[in-house]
Amino acid sequence: MPTGAAERNDHGRTRVQRACQGSAYWSEPFPPDSERCTRRVCGLLGLICPTEELAGYSVNAVANALPCQRHRGPDESDTWQGGEVVLGFNRLSIIDLEHSHQPLTWGPPENPQRYTITFNGEIYNYLELRAELIEQYGARFATDGDTEVIVAAYHYMGPHSVGRLRGMFAFMIWDDERKVVYGARDPFGIKPLFYASGPGGTAFASEKKSLLSLANTLKISEEIDHKAMQHYFVLQYVPEPESLHRQIRRIESGTSFTISPGGQLVTERYFQPNFRPRPANTEADVKRLQDEIVDVMRDSVAKHMRADVTVGSFLSGGIDSTAIAALAKEHNPNLITFTTGFERQGYSEVDVAAESAAAIGVKHVVRTVSAEEMMEALPLITWYLDDPVADPALVPLWFIAREARQHVKVVLSGEGADELFGGYTIYREPLSLAPFEKVPGALRKAMGKVSSRIPEGVRGKDLLRRGSLELEERYYGNARIFRDDQLRGIMRAFDPGVSHKDITGAPYSLSKDWDPVTRMQHVDLFTWLRGDILVKADKMTMANSLELRVPFLDPEVFRVASTVPLEQKITPETTKYALRQALYQVVPAHVLNRRKLGFPVPIRHWLKDEMHDWARNIIQQSQTDHLLDRRAILQLLEEHRSGVLDHSRRLWALLVFMLWHAIFIEGRLAPEVPEPHYPVRL
């Protein structure tokens, strides 16, 4: 090991010199295990080397890669080495604020140093699991937190214990006796986990930036994955398990893995979402379903409120976030809610959110965002993202997260309700396209050819085109940015062999006997939810060292939601019908049947006016000519400005990609990353 690279403490662990935002310091000595309780959302980094000697030489590299994700855990940073493994951790303390430290070592009485874990997330049923482990196995615990519970469950129950965890998580457990790493990611993909393998070993991290910092150690290429790039321009996000760097992938949601030093990664899916609708033909059936929905949501919110710090809630004005806030208020009478909006009519839920906050009796904080602020913040936001996500709603989310962090350390949010209960307007499409199902196949194909001859922007063109297609052809998630014929003229390396079916094929094959709406929900769980919704939720909150919890995305909530029959999800008048009816006893009446807005962003207007010159400069300065046709993109911008066609979503996808390329590939743009320090105003 290099001189001065590391030193051992009395517990056999290694502490190395650490760097935070460019300043180096030495860690404090480890407290005794009896004082250690770990429960927090943070950032993990782990390296499995072929040999122990190589691991010893790599400890500084891991320590130096941790600052890239310090915003995920600004309270503390530690690095540990044992055998062929180096583990790093950035801590955001949520529970047991004085004594929580990771990585954590645990073992049974006969081998108390056997396991070492690094864990990003929260286990909401850890108290119940802990009691079960003590009663059934005589498990011993030195802390009061959830991290030990994960390890003990793995030791006594085996790898399938991951299916018992109710929470959001990504973790790695090093078994020093068997010389193997076991890890997993939560069922829905709330917490991220990237990995990369090369001759220097295999590394896992909460942020891709940390793996890029280890590129020389791992001996991996930083080459762009053109297939992933093409998927991005179609979907507006990079789908799992891909990333825009060819040699960096992601552990998929609901998946566990094992790897030994010098060995190959082996993955296994432990969670497969399965919808099992049951009839609700009588009033008693419907009432029973509604009661189950309210009961399971009340239980989920109660468990998601467990924390030793103040918990707030996002409030967009819709039914999902309002329900979460109303249920959270039952546990915290002093709940603070947060919303964001824009000074443009039709693009803000500020007034409705304020009305909801008043109705449920909570303190409410509003943050209004301007076009100028968006333009200034977008490069930094893109740096936090790791891979581009062309969802403009993530920008106001970043601003409201920054505001919320001045008041609280944890927020609840309503993500997942639409996918579980059938909330997207697009889910009603099978109703509108039902007449096309009766048309003979040959005639439907002919209709598709007719639609291709209709000029862009003409009303009815897209309906005719979509009506001519089977579900597997036409639906690949909520976002459809570029069609193949549009992208062919923009992307120089366009590959006609790359298709959305590369991503949606497996979910469709597993749901072939279900109704069209449920199949669409199933596809969204594997695409839109984990590729867009949860990425922006995690990245934008953790960028501000704020923990976001999503009570709808709970295995018990899914168990109930999976039983909702089609007619209780979608009607000709509304979506997520059963959820709306169930929440009459919880949510103020004025929000129950409102049209869904979320955090809409007026980029269609801004790209014509306030943002036009800014967008043009990004396009002209971009060094992506080998990837994209600059003249074609400038033409899109001018067509949009003149009002010929609305290209706002396609332009936004291109602009975000160009900023990403300038930061991560060209190195031409280096946003100033603020020191993650947040004095909380209570």
How far is the C-alpha of 93 from the C-alpha of 310, rounded, in Å? 12
Task: Name 250's bridge partners.
Answer: 194
Given 246, 269, 292, the domain boundary residue is: 269
Q: What is the DSSP string of 540-574?
A: HHHTTT-EEE-TTS-HHHHHHHTT--GGGT--SS-
Q: What pTM, to 2 d.p., does this model score? A: 0.90
17 with 96, same domain: the answer is yes
419 and 326 fall within a common domain? yes
pLDDT given at position 20: 31
Q: Which two tokens stand for residue 651?
A: 């332009």
Are both 294 and 234 inside the same structural domain? Answer: no
Question: Where residue 478 falls among pLDDT bands split at 50, 70, 90?
Answer: confident
Give the model confidence (pLDDT) of 108-133 as tens digits: 999 999 999 999 999 999 999 999 99
Q: Which of 20, 37, 42, 49 is catalytic?
A: 42
Average pLDDT over residues 545-571: 97
- Contacts of residue 222, Cβ cutoff 8 Å, sequence gap at least 6: 212, 215, 245, 247, 665
Statement to judge: residues 292 and 264 lie in one domain: no
pLDDT in tens, 83-102: 999 999 886 555 444 544 67
Phi-psi region of 316 (alpha: psi -120 to 50; beta: other; left: phi over 0): alpha
Give the span between the Cα atoms of 585 and 605, in whole angstroms. 39
Average pLDDT rounded to a whole number, residues 654-670: 96
Q: Which two tokens stand for residue 634?
A: 């400038």
In a domain, 101, yes or no: yes
Instruction: Kindly state the tokens that stand for 565.
Output: 């029959």
User: Which pLDDT score is estimated for 592?
Assistant: 78
Of 62-71, 461-470, 590-599, the least confident: 590-599
Burial of 548 (0-12, 13-18, 19+ CB in 10 A): buried
Query: What are the C-alpha distances in Å from 42 to residues 32, 38, 277, 539, 634?
Result: 21, 11, 37, 12, 41
pLDDT at 561 over 60: yes
Same domain, 347 and 235: no
| Residue 491 placed within a domain | no
Do 53 and 122 lie in a common domain? yes
- 607 domain residue, yes or no: no
Q: How many CA atoms lie less than 13 Å away from 411 in the CB half-sphere?
A: 32
Confidence of residue 216 (pLDDT cuts 50, 70, 90): very high
Is the bond leading into 241 cis (omega within 30 degrees of zero)? yes
Residue 492 lies in a domain: no
Find tokens 């060209």 and name the residue.
666
* 336 and 358 fall within a common domain: yes
Enclosing domain of residue 548: 283-424+524-599
Answer yes or no: is 431 within a domain: no
Contact 93, 72 (CB under 8 A): no
Question: How confident is the model at residue 346, as a pLDDT?
Answer: 63
pLDDT at 499 over 80: yes
pLDDT at 342: 85
Instruction: Provide the CATH number for the domain around residue 398.
Output: 3.40.50.620
Is 60 exceeded by the pLDDT of residue 8?
no
Q: Does residue 42 carry a catalytic annotation?
A: yes
Residue 678 in any domain: the answer is: no
Count of domains for the chain = 2
**Amino acid 122: pLDDT:** 93
247 and 331 part of one domain: no
Q: Mark whether 183 and 299 lie in a shared domain.
A: no
Mean of the per-residue pLDDT values for the chain?
88
Boundary residue ending a domain (599, 617, 639): 599
Q: Write down which residue in 566, 584, 599 finishes a domain.
A: 599
Share of the chain above pLDDT 90, in %: 73
The pair of three-digit structure tokens given for residue 582, joined into one six-digit string: 């169930």
pLDDT tens profile 421-464: 999 999 999 988 888 877 777 777 777 777 777 887 777 777 88
Confidence (pLDDT) at 677: 53
pLDDT band at 676 (very low <50, low <70, confident <90, very high): low
Q: Judge if 99 and 221 occupy the same domain.
A: yes
Predicted confidence at residue 349, as pLDDT, reads: 73
Answer yes or no: do 263 and 294 share one domain. Answer: no
Could you tell me if 366 and 320 lie in one domain? yes
Check residue 10 and give its pLDDT.
31
pLDDT in tens, 301-336: 999 998 877 899 999 878 999 999 999 999 999 999
Q: What is the pLDDT of residue 351?
A: 83
